Structure 1
Amino acid sequence: MSNIPFQTIDWSSLPKEEYVGITGKAFWQTMQFDGLRVRYVEYSENYEADHWCEKGHIVYCIKGEVINRLKDGTESILKEGMSYIVSDDLSSHKSITENGVHLLIIDGDFLKLT
């Protein structure tokens, strides 16, 4: 990773990338740095991810709620003001919503297993 100078991020000025899930859609606004990715992510109503994710994340729920389903069937609900954290390759997880959610997601090289 390299040094990141002080900066503010106006998320409303960044383009949205659209991803289609099994149901619903995800919209990503991404800031990419060397070894670090910071995203504002919005999942629509009735969203279900189309894949199991193995990547590590730090996730903060800004608005709404999301169900985090692990491949073993375990589920947890992340509500407004809550977070979760996991390192790369320590879970197979996917996101599911009923009414939509807004998340801040941070991931990068620092979450790789050592």
Structure 2
Amino acid sequence: MKIEAFAFGTTNWSEIEKTEHPGETGMAYWRTCFFGQEPNQIRVRMVEYTPGYLADHWCQKGHILFCLEGELETLLEDGRKFVLKAGMSYQVGDNAEPHQSSTTTGAKLFIVD
């Protein structure tokens, strides 16, 4: 991720439109903002997963992810599992380790990619 120069700003996440993204099970709700210019644009999201959510894909995108509420399980393609609880984060680079997210309890996340 390369953060090019762009103006200072603030974000009121409650004013950002929520979009629905169904998982294999459950639902993800995203509030998304983009900063900077292509090709180095930064996507910043507030994401809520419903209880029982399982992603419908293996993600290869790099992220910096911070768990605000709930609990998120991340399965790596090699079989390792990691559990994030509120106050924890993970970091992974583009095309580094495919990962799949799920939650039994629901989770609220802040994600930069």
Q: How many residues align?
A: 107
Q: Unpaired runs of 5+ in structure 1? A: 108-114
Q: Unpaired runs of 5+ in structure 2? A: none
Measured in 1, the distance between the counterparts of 2:42 and 2:10 equals 16
Measured in 2, the distance between the counterparts of 1:57 and 1:79 equals 17
How do 1:51-90 and structure 2 match up within 5 A? 51-90=57-96
TM-score (norm 2): 0.91
Measured in 1, the distance between the counterparts of 2:56 and 2:64 equals 20
Residue 10 (structure 1) shift:
0.4
Residue 76 (structure 1) shift:
0.5
* 1:49-103 Cα shifts (integer Å, max 9, x gaps): 0000000000000011100011122100011000000110111101100010000
Measured in 1, the distance between the counterparts of 2:53 and 2:63 equals 19
Provide runs of 4+ in structure 1 moved above 2 Å: none
Measured in 2, the distance between the counterparts of 1:2 and 1:70 equals 30
Measured in 1, the distance between the counterparts of 2:112 and 2:4 equals 16
Measured in 1, the distance between the counterparts of 2:4 and 2:62 equals 20
Give the SS at the match of 1:12: helix
| Partner of residue 51, structure 2 | 45
How do 1:1-114 and structure 2 match up within 5 A? 2-33=4-35, 34=37, 35-107=41-113
Residue 4 (structure 1) shift:
2.0
Q: Which amino acid aligns with 2:9?
A: Q
